[in-house]
Amino acid sequence: MTARTDFATDFSHVFVPATDPAAPPLLLLHGTGGDERDLLELGRAVSPGSALLSPRGRVSEHGAPRFFRRHAEGVLDEDDLRARTHELADWVEARTAAHGLAAPLALGFSNGANIAAAMLLLRPATLAGGVLMRAMAPFGAAPSPRTSPGSPPAPAPDPAPARSALILAGLADPIAPAPTVTRLVDMLTGAGLTVDRRETLAGHGLVREDLDAARAWIAAARG
C-alpha cells in the first residue's frame, strides 16, 4: 500500500496494487467527512484482489473533506461540481496511466457517489462504470440559477464505450430521497448508460444488502 502526494496538484490518496490481475481496478470515493482510507475495507470486500485508488476530497466543509462544495444539505454547487469533476477526472486518468491500469469502476458513497455520477455524465471515458451508493442527481434539469452571467457552458461529454452503473438507494434516505434518485437514473440512462437500481430498507447509511449487491454486480460485470 502506498500513500502519495507527489504532484503539485495531486490529491492525497492511497494506492493498493492488485493481487488478482483479472479483478477490475476500483476508484474509491468517500462521503462527507471521510478520507482516503474510509472505503479501503469496503473495496476489498466487494472486489477481492482489485487495485484500489482512493483519493481524499480537496474541499473542506468546516473541516470535513468533500469532493465539491454545496450551498446547503441537498443543494449542490453545480458550477463547483463541474470544475471539480474535470479536475478529479484528469487526476484519475493520470494516476491510472502511471500505474498501468484500465479505466476503473467507481465505488462511491454519498458525496463521492455524486461526483462519480457527474464523472459518468461529463467524463465517461474516465470510468468503466460505477457503483453509486446513496447518490442523488448531480445536476438540475436546467442551468443552475447560481451560475453567474457569462459563465462558460459545461464542456460536452467525452465519447466513450457503453457503460453501466449500479445505484444503491435507501428507501428511508432523507438526504437522497426517491425523486432525486429517479432523476439520476433518468440522467444516466439518457446519457447511454445501462442502470441497475436497487433499494433497501435503510436510510443514508449502508447495510449488508448493499454490500452483497455491490459484490454480485461487480462479479457479473467482471464476467
- Active centre residues (catalytic): 110, 173, 204
What the block records as the C-alpha cell of 184 is 439520476
Query: First CA to last CA across the chain, in angstroms?
Result: 27
Where do runs of H (alpha helix) occur along 24-175?
40-46, 78-98, 111-122
> Where are the strands (E) in the chain, listed by range?
2-4, 13-16, 26-29, 52-55, 59-61, 64-66, 70-72, 75-76, 105-109, 129-133, 164-170, 194-200
With CA atoms as reference, report the closest residue to 184 among 166, 202, 158. Answer: 166
What the block records as the C-alpha cell of 178 is 426517491
Whether 63 and 31 have beta carbons less than 8 Å apart is answered as: no
Q: What is the per-residue burial (b if ≥16 Cβ within 10 Å, else e) of 133-170?
A: bbbbbbbeeeebeeeeeeeeebeeeeebeebbbbbbbb
Q: Give the 3-state secondary structure of residue 186.
A: helix
